[in-house]
């Protein structure tokens, strides 16, 4: 059978082609951005957990009253205007017009008050703020007041806290959930809407652009400013194998990786279709944490001996390798930030002084009991920290028993207060996102109040007095002076060690543009063109 070409068949063919083209155009119209995070998103309640993947999910679907801009200054976000009474006790916040939850209902003062209350029960900075809060009071549907018992210097820093637990705003019916129970409804007022039905935990999480979101008029800056979404759909792809992540990015099956491991960066640097973005210019900081409850680190001289034995450069070379991704920095509150000061450090933490370490050990009467050092072998960035500590402490006169285990075992074992021979520990390493370490209230390693401290359990009333003074201080210049005193006090008692800043760039296809510099990865302002 042969086909006879007639005007009708030509028109029919043209119609088919036009139809196919319009379908293609329609399909092309939906821009999908696919990203792999540094872990699986299993818990969807950013107040219930401090997991960074959950925080990132939070920034997609929720909004915040205030937010940190690119210079870490706290700027209004959902709030239109705010004022403080002359006695610094009454803070009045007025919400922007037109804020709406994803279910179409308006955002009200009651919603925000309930959200702040739930957050304050889980977050250390929220707890500290609410120690000063007398009451939250709704003035009208869009205005509420925070009335303090006495002036507090970190009201905006707390409400605008950029990292976990971030005070995200939720509808009152959801925010009224017990803070120690996970929420099971994911309705926010943020720039994306979570798609529960399309999301498959362990496979992917799907978010659609919120068409009703009203961005601020200012240009985006860090986490503040206008959150303009430039893609239709965003997907968190769950992919645990880092080599597979890199392969998938190279062939274009995904668009972005939050933070590829350092040993795979050279592979990505060579690919012309991939670019590396230092989206978090502050980076992270490594920490060495002592157990203050058990021998020998219950003795401050022995802790100080350990700090004299170590130096940042050795850790950074062994873990990060390429100097462009690390910085030797003596500031506990991070170099280049308002509180960043290197006072009291060099040579402490910067250059090893083994003679001083040995002298201090002799003075303290160290009996040669081996130090139990927990080595995590499953977090690549931490794996090499413990061997460096072992080598340096041994040169400084310590005996070290390095015990290797997966990170989850470290996380469990570090909660034990028993001596090492009964399942406890003496020292381990971790790291913090730099933005969490920028002041002595959010930086949990400085807490030294009985019952409130982080693992290691230091108790130092003088440190707590200084932290309290910092929290009450309203003048940023005086706050900086207090932060320096806190750093010096931490070094004097050898409370813990900060052992180097490092950076982990994100990777993206070159067709993806507009990844903002911010303390956490954010997905507004990103455009995707081409393949």
Residues in touch with another protein (CB under 8 A): 40, 42-44, 49-51, 124, 164-165, 180, 182, 184, 200-203, 237-241, 243-244, 247-248, 250-251, 253, 378, 405-406, 408-409, 411-415, 417, 430, 436, 444, 451-455
The tokens 């009708």 sit on which residue? 8
Beta bridge partners of 193: 208
Asked if 499 and 512 touch (Cβ cutoff 8 Å), the reply is no
Quote the least distance from Cβ 202 to another protein, whole Å.
5
Which two tokens mark 130? 């609410």
First to last CA, the chain: 41
The rounded distance, in Å, linking the Cα atoms of 195 and 456 is: 41
Quote the least distance from Cβ 75 to another protein, whole Å.
25
- Which residue, 70 or 405, is less far from another protein as judged by CB? 405
SS (H, E, C) 27-42: HHHCCEEEEECCCCCC
The tokens 């909660």 sit on which residue? 415
Our measurement of the distance from residue 46's CA atom to the centroid of its chain's CA atoms, rounded to an integer in Å, reads: 12
- Which residue, 34 or 227, is less far from another protein as judged by CB? 34
- Which residue, 253 or 401, is less far from another protein as judged by CB? 253
Quote the least distance from Cβ 282 to another protein, whole Å.
17
The rounded distance, in Å, linking the Cα atoms of 385 and 389 is: 6
Instruction: Mark out the alpha helices in 418-530 (DSSP H runs).
Output: 461-472, 476-492
Burial of 130 per CB tally in 10 Å (0-12, 13-18, 19+): buried
- Which residue, 44 or 148, is less far from another protein as judged by CB? 44
3-state secondary structure of 450: coil
Beta bridge partners of 66: 76
3-state secondary structure of 434: helix
Quote the least distance from Cβ 84 to another protein, whole Å.
29
- Which residue, 165 or 339, is less far from another protein as judged by CB? 165
- Which residue, 361 or 471, is less far from another protein as judged by CB? 471
Quote the least distance from Cβ 43 to another protein, whole Å.
6
Quote the least distance from Cβ 439 to another protein, whole Å.
14
Asked if 120 and 130 touch (Cβ cutoff 8 Å), the reply is yes
The rounded distance, in Å, linking the Cα atoms of 46 and 52 is: 9
In Å, what is the CA distance from 177 to each residue of 172, 181, 379? 9, 7, 33
- Which residue, 50 or 117, is less far from another protein as judged by CB? 50
- Which residue, 186 or 398, is less far from another protein as judged by CB? 186
Cα dihedral sign for 322, 323, 325, 331? positive
- Which residue, 397 or 504, is less far from another protein as judged by CB? 504
- Which residue, 97 or 241, is less far from another protein as judged by CB? 241
Quote the least distance from Cβ 239 to another protein, whole Å.
5
SS (H, E, C) 4-22: CCCHHHHHHHHHHHHHHHH
Q: Taking each helix axis from N to C terminus, what angle separates 124-132 and 109-120, rounded to the nearest 10 degrees? A: 110
Quote the least distance from Cβ 331 to another protein, whole Å.
21
Quote the least distance from Cβ 50 to another protein, whole Å.
3
Quote the least distance from Cβ 348 to another protein, whole Å.
26
Q: Which one-letter DSSP state was computed for residue 422?
A: G
């Amino acid at each position: 059978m042969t086909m006879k070409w007639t005007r009708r068949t030509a028109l029919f063919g043209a119609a088919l082609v036009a139809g196919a083209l319009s379908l293609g155009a329609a399909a092309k119209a939906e821009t999908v951005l696919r990203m792999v995070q540094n872990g699986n998103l299993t818990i969807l309640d950013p107040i219930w957990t401090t997991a960074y993947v959950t925080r990132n999910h939070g920034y997609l679907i929720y909004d915040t009253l205030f937010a940190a801009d690119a210079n870490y200054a706290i700027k209004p976000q959902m709030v239109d205007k705010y004022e403080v009474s002359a006695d610094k006790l009454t803070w009045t916040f007025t919400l922007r017009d037109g804020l709406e939850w994803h279910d179409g209902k308006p955002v009200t003062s009651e919603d925000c008050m309930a959200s702040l209350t739930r957050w304050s029960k889980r977050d250390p900075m929220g707890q500290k703020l609410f120690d000063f809060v007398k009451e939250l009071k709704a003035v009208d549907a869009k205005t509420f007041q925070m009335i303090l018992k006495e002036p507090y210097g970190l009201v905006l820093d707390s409400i605008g806290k950029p990292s976990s637990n971030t005070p995200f705003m939720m509808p009152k019916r959801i925010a009224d959930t017990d803070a120690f129970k996970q929420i099971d409804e994911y309705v926010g007022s943020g720039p994306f809407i979570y798609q529960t039905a399309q999301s498959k935990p362990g496979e992917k999480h799907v978010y659609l652009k919120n068409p009703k979101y009203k961005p601020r008029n200012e240009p985006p800056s860090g986490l503040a400013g206008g959150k303009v979404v430039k893609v239709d759909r965003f997907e968190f792809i769950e992919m645990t194998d880092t080599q597979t992540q890199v392969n998938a990015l190279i062939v274009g099956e995904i668009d972005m990786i939050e933070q590829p491991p350092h040993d795979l960066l050279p592979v990505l640097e060579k690919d012309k279709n991939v670019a590396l973005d230092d989206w978090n210019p502050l980076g992270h900081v490594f920490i060495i944490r002592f157990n203050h409850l058990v021998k020998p680190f219950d003795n401050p001289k022995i802790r100080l001996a350990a700090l004299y034995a170590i130096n940042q450069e050795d850790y950074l070379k062994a873990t990060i390798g390429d100097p462009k991704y690390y910085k030797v920095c003596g500031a506990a509150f991070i170099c280049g930030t308002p509180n960043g000061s290197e006072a009291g450090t060099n040579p402490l933490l910067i250059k090893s002084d083994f003679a001083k370490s040995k002298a201090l050990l002799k003075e303290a009467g160290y009996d040669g009991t081996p130090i139990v050092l927990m080595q995590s072998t499953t977090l690549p960035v931490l794996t090499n920290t413990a061997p460096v500590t072992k080598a340096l402490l041994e040169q400084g006169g310590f005996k070290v028993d390095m015990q290797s285990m997966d990170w989850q075992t470290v996380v469990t074992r570090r909660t034990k207060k028993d001596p090492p021979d009964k399942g406890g520990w003496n020292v381990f390493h971790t790291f913090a996102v730099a933005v969490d370490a920028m002041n002595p209230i959010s930086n949990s390693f400085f807490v030294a109040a009985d019952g409130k401290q982080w693992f290691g359990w230091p108790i130092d009333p003088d440190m707590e007095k200084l932290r309290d003074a910092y929290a009450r201080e309203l003048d940023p210049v005086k706050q900086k002076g207090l932060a320096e005193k806190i750093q010096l006090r931490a070094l004097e008692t050898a409370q813990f060690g900060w052992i180097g800043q490092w950076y982990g760039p994100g990777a993206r296809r070159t067709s993806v543009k507009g990844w903002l510099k911010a303390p956490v990865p954010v997905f507004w302002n990103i455009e995707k063109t081409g393949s």
